[in-house]
Structures are given as C-alpha cells and as structure tokens.
Structure 1
Amino acid sequence: MLTERREAILKLLIQEYIATASPVGSGKLARGSGMRVSAATVRNEMADLETDGYITRPHTSAGGIPADKGYRHYVETLEGLAEPSAQVREAVRQKMTEAKDVELWAKLAATVLSQLVRNMAVVTYPRAGEVRVRNIQLVSVHDDLALVVLVLQETQVHQQMLSLTDPATADDLVEVGNRLNAHLGGKDRLEIAAMQAELSPLEGKVAEVVIGVLEAEEQERMGEQFVDGLSHILSKPELAEGERAVGLVEALEGRRLLKSLIASLTDGPVTVVIGGENEDEALRPFSVVISPYGVPGEFRGAVAAIGPTRMEYAGTMGTAQYMSSLLTDLFAEVFRR
C-alpha cells in the first residue's frame, strides 16, 4: 500500500513522463508536488518506489521512469475517463452516419480513433453471434490420455488430445464430462473463464482446452481488422531504433495482434493491457486499450488503441469506449433490420 505522499509523487512522475518521454528528476517532482517537501525527501521516496517496482532508474542520481507496475497502479486509480468533447463526439457521429456503405464504418472508426488518441488503432468488423459450448465429451484413449470432443452450438465439432496428470478410467471421464456439460453448456469463453476457480483440477484442464478452442473460433469469426495510425507509433521517441515497430508490424501481418486482442477481451467496457502483461512478446513495449462493441447474442467486434506504455490513459480509454458505444448503436440498427 502506497502512502499518500508516495502516491502523489508516483502520479506526478507518470504524468510528467507521459508528457515529456524523459526521466523525471526529484527536483522537478519536489517543485510540482505542492507538498512542500525537499528534493532530498522526494529522492528517498523515489528510492522506495524503485524498490517496490513502481519505477526504474538507470542509477541512483538519475530521474525516474515508470515501470509497468507503476502504470498499472496509475490506471487502476484513475478518478475518471476523459471522453472527447461533446462537439467532437457530434462531429464523429455525423461523419460515421454519413458514410453510405456500412462496411466502411469499422475502417472509418480506426481512422478517427487513431487521429483522436495519436496512436495506432485497430477495429474489427463485427460478426454475428457468440461462440458457445453445446456439448463436451471425454473419450478415454489411455490411462493418462483423453480425447476432448467439443461441440459448439452451431454443431461445429473440435477434437483435441489432453494429457492427464492422474490416471482416469472411461467411467471417470464420462462423469467429468457430465459435470462439465451441466456447468459449461451454453456458455461462452468469458463465462467459462470466470468459473474456472470452481472446477476440479481435471475439469479445469478440460476447461482450458475449451477456452482455447473458443478463442481460436472467435478469432476466425472476428473477421477483417482495420488498422490506422502506424505513423503515430513510428513518431514516438521510444521507437527511434525501429526494432520494436518492426515486431509490431510483424504481429499485424501475421494476425497475432488480432489473437492478442481477442484474448484480452473481458466483460468490462474497457480493458488495459500494459507492457509485459501482453502475451505476445512483440506487444510488450506497448500498452493496449481495448473496448468490445456489439449486442450479446447478436454481433460482436472490438475497438483498440495501441501505443507506447507512455500513453495518455484516461483520454485513450474514454475515447475507445466512446467509439465502441457508437459502433454498437450504428451496427445494432443494421443487424436488427
């Protein structure tokens, strides 16, 4: 738990670093904190923040740079999100509704979002329906090996081998399958993930297989991705060397980025994945702000902004959430015709 003073110093350091991309010194923090503390006191607090993993410093006398843990704390303690102004929101809505071809909405949304947040934006075209489990069957192959047969509600069948930690008979597997069908039947990936803590170890292993299949199926159904604003990423001083940007482009071309976005989706209106929290190594120099759009059971898509961890989080989160809400409204009219 951070003290009130340490919290204020961390917040100011992050805000200053977001604005300047330069390490922040204790003198600047002392002058800007409004707490009437000396630079020496701030240095001591910074040393504790570094020890606790909230910031990093090249050496003791250097300025501080936020670490992923510091950014995470900053995001979790934001007092509110910053949506675009009413004037901007109205202009964006008018621009979207004036587009004659609904297939242009997702592409236009990516362009608008990237311009508003000055980072890269990715928007997926919506696809009808959600991927849900219809039936799970476990077939004994060997004492320590089972075949998971997963039937989706659209009658698609997926099969995958599962190594068992402990030997299980065919009757054991039938019993586990029956319990899983009772608990997981009719549920989607997020609902199943939320229930994992309630499952036995074997049920949990099967659930992991099911979640993986559902995630892959979602990726296939999510369809085309529209990307804009790569030039914003390339203009950031953190990417001057270019190697990080190359990794991001490769992730885009290989659709690994789309897979990472889908894996990051939650039930919440907006999710932030910071630096090392990203599963894909190419995304670890970046933060991803993602907001799902759609109507449960009818259609689903995603809006995402990607930029360096030195991102203006409140504004980016608020803008992504606004764009997802707008796309939900627009596409709902089309899907319900």
Structure 2
Amino acid sequence: MAGLTDRRRQEVLRAIVADYIHSQEPVGSKSLLERHQLNVSSATIRNDMAVLESEGLIAQQHASSGRIPTEKGYRQFVDHIHDLKPLSAAERRAILCFLEDGVDMEDVLRRSVQLLSQLTRQAAVVQIPTLKVSRVKHCEVVALGPMRLLLVLITDSGRVDQRNVELDDSLDADEVIQLRDLLNSALVGKSLREASSSLAQLAVDVPPNIQGALAKSARRLIETLVEQPSDRLILTGTSHLTRSARDFPSGLPSVIEALEEQVVVLKLLANVPDLGNVSVLIGGENEDAELQETSIVATAYGSDGHPLGGLGVVGPTFMDYPGTISKVSAVARYVSRVLAGE
C-alpha cells in the first residue's frame, strides 16, 4: 500500500509541476481533480499535498492560495522523467535543413543557438571548439601580395582561423607552395600545441629561399593560435527572459549580465555530460549566485564520438523540462551530424 501511495503522490507532484509550468499560477486540489484523472477524492489530494509540502517539494505562498513547486520539487520531477516527447518528422527535417545550410562550423553553431532559442523560447548558448581539442586538417597559404601571406588553418572540428604574415622578402608562386607543404608536414593531424615543437624544428632545417617566410609563419601560428587559445561563446535569445522578468527576484539585468560574462557560462558548459546525455541544473544547484534563480539544460555536441563543446538553454525554474530536454538533445544530435558530414 505504501508503494501505491508513493506513486500517487509522485503523480500529484507531476500534475502540480505540469499545471504550474502551464499557468504560472498556484495550483489547488480542485483544479488538479478537474484537469487530471487521479481517481481519488479531494480529501486524499489535499492530504497528499500536505505531505508533499512537509517534504519540501511544494510550497504555499499564503494560507488561501494553492501550491507551487519548490526547487526540490522540480529536481524530483526532472529525476523521474522517463518519457520525452519526440520531435515530429517535420520538426526534425526543419532542424536538419536549417543547420545543413551553414557555410562553416561557426555558422552551423550560430544557427544552432538561434534555432534552440526559437524552439524553447529561452536564452540559448553554444561553445565554439577551441584549438586545444581540435587537430589540424590543413593549412593553406595564400599570397596576398609579394610581401604578404594569409595563413588559413582548418581543423577537424570545422573551425577556420586566418592570420596575416608580413614578410621581409618576396616569395614567388612555387615558393608559396613549398612553404605550404612544409607547414602541413608539421601541422596535419596534430593539435597546435603538439605541433609547436615540429614548427620550431622546421625553422632549423629549411631551404634558405623560404627560411625567413617559414620562421615568420611558424612564429605567427605559435604566438596567436598556440600560446593564446581562446574559448568563445555564441549567446542569443536573452530577450525571451523578459517574459519571465517577475520570476527573477534579484532582477533580470543581473541574470543577463552573468550570461554575458563568458567565463561564467564557459564554466557551466565545461561540465556538460558526455555526448547523448543532458544535464539539468535547477536554481541553487548553479554555482554562480546570479544564476541561482534560473534553470540550465545543457549537453555536448561533437564529431566522431568526441565532444567538441557544450550547448544549452537558460530560463526560469518553471520551464517545460521534458520539452526543453528533448529539444536541446535533438539540436545537439543534429549539430554533431552536420559537423561530422553525415
């Protein structure tokens, strides 16, 4: 009997959370009976609500009001989500087509957060892969003039970085090709940090005609892309949070300011779970004080089974958790497919 009672109270909690997410109004026992087939009396519902309140899962704002879920209640609700509503075939096609139109990796990621923000009506954020976790696929060398080169570095994650190099002596077309081949021999298949020693070694044993150009190119790569790798984020949809401004007692501006501080969000995304899993941080579970009135749903995206970064959404604690988890997971899965060229 105790098991049946526990299951029923879990159903009551689920119904309260669902109704509050839908209406953002306190939920009473009468409305629960009207909206949900709980097959018990109103007295039983009131007793169950009293027990849930004593356990800290729901709260009553004042004596005559209904109940609202607490952070503890949301956590129990999320931990007991077993079935996620799958996206429709039309939604899946729309996501894939929108992402496949991206011209490069950064464009795909920018499209992914735009899409995620539109789907969830929350703020969305994605981490651009750093060169720390990427390996060089190719380094192209383009002559912009007799004394100026453009280095175009392409990684296996699809990231493209460009750097200009000013030369002391001019190079002809054959020497530009020779320089490109030497750089690729040192870079391809390696992270830039791993390749730095190879670049340094190249400068020691190189044909005199391109020695100066190679030394400058290697130094430019090491200085700007090895010693100063930068984490970057794309954030969009913070305007959606204004719809819930009253639900941030400390003030919405402080939440948005925290989101715009890249270090804070990068720390959150650094702890996302492995590919295919989704994390949910609710209220006080967030380490940053300014985000303790929000919930964050995040996961990883990647290529060839390896995570490249995190993406997710930030919104009020009463967000639609099943729908948000499903959409975050789906967008991450499609981003991974597009970056992998599937």
Q: With the length of structure 2 as denominator, give the TM-score of the two structures.
A: 0.66
Cα deviation for residue 237 of structure 1 reads 5.6
SS of the residue corresponding to residue 287 of structure 1 reads strand
Q: Which residue of 1 aligns with 2:51?
A: 48
- Which one of 228, 244, 259 corresponds to residue 251 of structure 2? 244
Root-mean-square deviation over aligned CA pairs: 2.8
Distance 1:237 1:26, change over 3 A: farther
SS of the residue corresponding to residue 324 of structure 1 reads helix
Cα deviation for residue 299 of structure 1 reads 5.5
Question: Which has the greater radius of gyration?
Answer: 2
**1:9-158 equivalent positions in 2, closer than 5 A:** 9-128=12-131, 130=133
Q: Which residue of 2 aligns with 1:230?
A: 238
Contact 2:57 2:70 in 1 (8 A): yes
SS of the residue corresponding to residue 3 of structure 1 reads helix
Q: Which residue of 2 aligns with 1:206?
A: none
Contact 2:132 2:229 in 1 (8 A): no
Distance 1:285 1:296, change over 3 A: farther
In the TM superposition, what whole-angstrom CA distance separates every residue of 1:75-110 from its partner, at most 9, and x where no partner exists?
Answer: 111122233211111112112112223321111111
Q: Distance in 2 between matches of 1:75 and 1:297?
A: 26
SS of the residue corresponding to residue 251 of structure 2 reads helix
Q: Which residue of 2 aligns with 1:302?
A: 310
Distance 1:58 1:239, change over 3 A: closer
SS of the residue corresponding to residue 22 of structure 1 reads coil
Distance 1:107 1:308, change over 3 A: same
Distance 1:43 1:256, change over 3 A: farther
Runs of 4+ in 1 over 3 A off after TM superposition: 128-131, 237-241, 295-299
Cα deviation for residue 128 of structure 1 reads 4.5
In the TM superposition, what whole-angstrom CA distance separates every residue of 1:291-321 from its partner, at most 9, and x where no partner exists?
Answer: 1011478661111011111111111111111
Contact 1:57 1:65 in 2 (8 A): yes
Q: Distance in 2 between matches of 1:36 and 1:72?
A: 26
Contact 1:244 1:282 in 2 (8 A): no
Cα deviation for residue 130 of structure 1 reads 4.3
Cα deviation for residue 264 of structure 1 reads 3.5
Contact 1:292 1:300 in 2 (8 A): yes
AA in 2 matched with 1:38: S
Cα deviation for residue 232 of structure 1 reads 1.1
Q: Distance in 1 between matches of 2:264 and 2:88?
A: 30
Cα deviation for residue 240 of structure 1 reads 7.5
Worse-superposed segment, 12-21 or 120-129:
120-129
In the TM superposition, what whole-angstrom CA distance separates every residue of 1:163-186 from its partner, at most 9, and x where no partner exists?
Answer: xxxxxxxxxxxxxxxxxxxxxxxx
AA in 1 matched with 2:266: K
Distance 1:39 1:231, change over 3 A: same
Q: Distance in 2 between matches of 1:128 and 1:81?
A: 35
Q: Which residue of 2 aligns with 1:5?
A: 8
Contact 1:126 1:294 in 2 (8 A): no
- Structure 2: segments with no counterpart, 5+ residues: 135-191, 195-227
Cα deviation for residue 129 of structure 1 reads 5.0
Q: Distance in 2 between matches of 1:263 and 1:67?
A: 27
Contact 1:251 1:282 in 2 (8 A): yes
Distance 1:16 1:297, change over 3 A: closer
SS of the residue corresponding to residue 81 of structure 2 reads coil
Aligned identity (percent) is 33
